């Protein structure tokens, strides 16, 4: 066999080996799958667990109930397809330490009890507005959860929803939220700021007792909300720091007050300039008044020389500027009287 033929054979073999290495990736992506009442599930070799079907997911009080639990260490992404209406209780409760991404469908309306509790791989989660309710312990004990984006549409943040998420630093509660149940952010010791955009969001549940209400928002968390809102009321009641968001609730004349302050600042800037100008005019007037008038230089037609015109005009200018200064006195707070 010639060298040329040998090279061709080697090239063909290498091509076949490359194709064979791609086949498992293209045709053997699913490593596990199954059905569970009205839903189907499959786990791909890239770590994506896809849940599909119609209606509510079957639910139980233990994570071992779900057929994908034996593969919990492989799950990196959970994806819900259209048709699923809720995330079942305890569906991904603890042990899913490699779960980093959750993709919610537009048909899901509830995240039920402890659905994602203890998922330490979660750092960021976005909850779309079609999800109306976060139930008990929905994202509790997620030790590395740093960012929670709540889109407008959610209505209820349930009891202990974000209990003990120590790395959560800031969260905005959209205007659609009607209730933040007791202990929702208990032990979120890193929570620096919470912004509540609904003036009437209920932050407490009187039936549970004030000791639970007090733990709804951590002691050191700064509460941002509107003046006269339930957020401000909660802050005052439980000695939290409150920062008002609004200027729109101020009296209508505050706008005029703002304009007055603006013009006062301009007047204070201009007044020294007018003072200097008036002093200069006074000096010119005084110098002109002391100079004798030379009647022999008067024109034959009786008109005055320019110096005489200036002398006559100067008192009028001085009085005008004095009047302007007198008008400025209330704004500037000084008591200088206009010059006669």
pLDDT tens per residue across span 1-11:
565 555 554 45
Confidence of residue 299 (pLDDT cuts 50, 70, 90): low
Element (H, E) at 193: strand 193-196
**What is the pLDDT, as a whole number, of residue 246?**
84
Instruction: Tell whether the model's pLDDT for residue 304 goes beyond 50.
Output: no
By C-alpha distance, which of 236, 218, 215 is closest to 227? Answer: 236
SS3 string, 86-122, reads EECCCCCCCCCCCCCEEECCCCCCEECCCCCCCCCCC
Res. 241: pLDDT tops 60: yes
What's the pLDDT at 248?
Answer: 52
Tokens of 217: 């928002």
pLDDT at 228 over 80: yes
Structure confidence by residue, pLDDT tens digits, 150-193: 999 999 999 999 999 999 999 999 999 999 999 999 999 999 99
Q: Please tell me which residue, 283 or 90, carries the higher pLDDT value.
A: 90
Burial of 97 (0-12, 13-18, 19+ CB in 10 A): middle
pLDDT-wise least confident of 39-43, 91-95, 302-306, 314-318: 302-306
Q: Residue 204 — pLDDT band, cuts 50, 70, 90?
A: confident
Per-residue pLDDT for 297 more than 50? no
Does the pLDDT at position 206 exceed 90?
no
pLDDT for position 61: 87
Q: How far apart are the C-alpha atoms of 83 and 56, rounded to whole Å? A: 9
Looking at residues 286-301, what average pLDDT do you find?
Answer: 55
**Kind and range of the H or E element at 274?**
helix 253-290
Q: Which of 67-76, 279-288, 302-311 is the least confident region?
A: 302-311
Has residue 254 got a pLDDT over 90?
no
Half-sphere exposure of 48 (CA within 13 A, CB side): 10
pLDDT tens string 113-153: 999 999 999 999 999 999 999 999 999 999 999 999 999 99
pLDDT band at 260 (very low <50, low <70, confident <90, very high): low
180 SS3 class: strand
Percentage of the residues of the chain whose pLDDT score is greater than 70? 64
pTM: 0.66
Task: Write the DSSP symbol of residue 173.
Answer: E
Q: What is the pLDDT of residue 27?
A: 46
Question: pLDDT at residue 276 above 50?
Answer: yes
- pLDDT for 308 equals 54
d(C-alpha 292, C-alpha 214), whole Å = 89
Distance between CA atoms of 260 and 249, rounded to whole angstroms? 19
Q: Give residue for tokens 């984006």.
A: 149
| Structure confidence at residue 272 (pLDDT) | 73
The confidence score (pLDDT) of residue 83 equals 97
33 - beta bridge partners? 42
Mean pLDDT of 316-325: 64
Q: Which two tokens stand for residue 243?
A: 């920062």
Q: For residue 198, what pLDDT is reported?
A: 97
**Cα–Cα distance measured from residue 291 to residue 283, given in angstroms and rounded to the nearest whole number:** 13
Q: CA 97 to CA 99: how far, in whole Å?
A: 6
Helix (H) or strand (E) run with residue 271 in it: helix 253-290
- Dump pLDDT digits (tens) for 47-89: 999 999 999 999 998 889 999 999 999 999 999 999 999 999 9
Residue 289 — pLDDT band, cuts 50, 70, 90?
A: low
């Amino acid at each position: 066999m010639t060298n040329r033929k040998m090279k061709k054979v080697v090239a063909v073999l290498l091509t076949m080996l490359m194709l064979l290495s791609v086949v498992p990736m293209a045709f053997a992506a699913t490593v596990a799958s199954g059905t569970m009442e009205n839903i189907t599930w499959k786990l791909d070799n890239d770590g994506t667990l896809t849940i599909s079907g119609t209606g509510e997911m079957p639910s139980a009080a233990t994570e071992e109930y779900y057929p994908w639990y034996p593969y919990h260490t492989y799950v990196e992404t959970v994806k819900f397809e259209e048709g699923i209406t809720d995330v079942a209780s305890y569906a991904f409760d603890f042990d899913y330490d490699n779960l980093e991404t959750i993709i919610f469908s537009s048909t899901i309306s509830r995240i039920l009890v402890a659905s994602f509790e203890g998922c330490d791989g979660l750092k960021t989660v976005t909850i779309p507005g079609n999800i109306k309710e976060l139930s008990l312990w929905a994202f509790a004990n997620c030790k590395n959860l740093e960012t929670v984006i709540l889109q407008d549409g959610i209505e209820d943040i349930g009891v202990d929803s974000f209990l003990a998420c120590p790395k959560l630093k800031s969260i905005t509660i959209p205007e659609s939220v009607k209730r933040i149940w007791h202990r929702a952010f208990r032990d979120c010791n890193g929570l620096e700021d919470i912004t509540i955009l609904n003036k009437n969001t209920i932050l407490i549940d009187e039936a549970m007792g004030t000791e639970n209400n007090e733990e709804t928002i951590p002691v050191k968390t700064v509460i941002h909300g509107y003046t006269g809102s339930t957020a401000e009321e909660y802050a005052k009641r439980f000695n939290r720091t409150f920062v008002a968001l609004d200027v729109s609730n101020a009296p209508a004349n505050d706008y005029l007050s703002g304009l007055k302050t603006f013009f006062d600042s301009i007047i204070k800037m201009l007044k020294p300039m007018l003072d200097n100008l008036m002093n200069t005019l006074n000096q010119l007037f005084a110098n002109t008044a002391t100079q004798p008038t030379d009647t022999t230089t008067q024109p034959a037609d009786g008109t005055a020389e320019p110096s005489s015109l200036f002398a006559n005009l100067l008192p009028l200018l001085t009085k005008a500027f004095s009047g302007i200064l007198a008008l400025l006195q209330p704004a500037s707070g000084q008591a200088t009287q206009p010059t006669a």
